[in-house]
Amino acid sequence: MQDNFSFSLWCDFIERDFLENDFIGMIQDGIINGATSNPAIFQQSFLNKSYQAQKESLQIQDKKSLYEALAKTDIQRAAELLKPLYDANPNDGYISIEVDPNLCEDAKGTIEEGNRLFNDIGYPNVMIKIPATKAGFSAMEELIAQGISVNATLVFNKEQVINCMEAFKKGYEKLKQVSKLELKDLPRAVVSIFVSRFDRKCDSILKEHGIPTATLGIKNAQYLYHILNSYALPGVRTLFASTGVKGEDLEPAYYINELYHPYAINTAPLSAISAFDYNTVSEAYLPSIEELEEFLESVKNAGIDLDSISQELLEQGLNDFKAAFSKILESL
């Protein structure tokens, strides 16, 4: 359900039986406005029996082709179910599919695969998910220029946000040179800012310096939200990702509640969505960019190099997705 300042909640999970049951109910009840997927999600989902019949019927020997066939079936179904939301409001109703994570340093390969996946799936409310690497920025620009919506993923720092926004800006400029599309018809983009991974990485150090735990991820995300919004690109929104909690120290919906900001999206695991309550949530306090810079400076003074940590988390995220992708192919 969207509220009056256009916050959106997307589901960070895809699985065949889920799509035909709870997913439909969550859309009908106005709980979610979209969904996302990634290799780790598909790795988990493809182990379920609901995929066995299609695997056997396809008789595809090439494992990547088999993976794509299974994934595209789920993405098509999700896109079909979400299409009414997209038709009512083209800022919502999307499902994301990620390009092969092994292409993260191959701009040409990413563009070709993103284009192929988008056209094969055949729904306008599909976002091609691309890691925010140097090659990824080039691919984002080109896909937007081709009219394809993009989800920039694994974003941790200001430099990545700026590079994403510059890519989208250039992509829109190219598209407008060849097409006179109205805003409602333009491809959309989201910048997936990862949140909780900072806290899991840095909380123990911050605690030693008297800095509250479970705050760095939120403050960093809010800072990047300010940077993104300063571009005022109407087709681009902040998407807060990695918003599940680990352990029992935090409420399951903690990161959704703390990042409940205008025009933002939160893509969350089912446990967080189940715990989230639209009826009791209120707009979260958003510190000024100056306040956030002061906080981030205190983190730096505590001995944490955010640029170094961001690079480490990016590399870890890429490696995790590559490993998950490899395990998918092995299991097929």
38 token code pair: 């990634």
In a domain, 2, yes or no: no
Q: What is the pLDDT of residue 182?
A: 83
In a domain, 98, yes or no: yes
Q: Which structural domain range is residue 139 located in? A: 8-331
Task: Choose, from 55, 129, 134, 169, the residue flagged as catalytic.
Answer: 129
262 token code pair: 């205008």
Give the domain CATH number at 176.
Answer: 3.20.20.70
Q: How far apart are CA 321 and CA 194, in angstroms?
A: 14
pLDDT digit string (tens) for 106-139? 999 999 999 999 999 999 999 999 999 999 999 9
Q: What is the pLDDT of residue 4?
A: 53
- In this predicted structure, the answer to whether residue 47 has a pLDDT above a threshold of 90 is no
- In this predicted structure, the answer to whether residue 2 has a pLDDT above a threshold of 70 is no
Q: How far apart are CA 64 and CA 35, in angstroms?
A: 23
In a domain, 178, yes or no: yes
54 token code pair: 């299609």
In a domain, 46, yes or no: yes
**pTM (2 d.p.):** 0.95
- In this predicted structure, the answer to whether residue 14 has a pLDDT above a threshold of 70 is yes
Instruction: Give the number of domains in the chain.
Output: 1
- In this predicted structure, the answer to whether residue 89 has a pLDDT above a threshold of 50 is yes
In a domain, 3, yes or no: no
116 token code pair: 């192929």
How deeply is 217 buried, as exposed, middle or buried, from its count of CB atoms within 10 A (0-12, 13-18, 19+)? Answer: buried
Average pLDDT over residues 65-77: 95
In a domain, 101, yes or no: yes
Reply yes or no on whether 176 is catalytic: no
For tokens 């920039």, name the residue.
Answer: 152
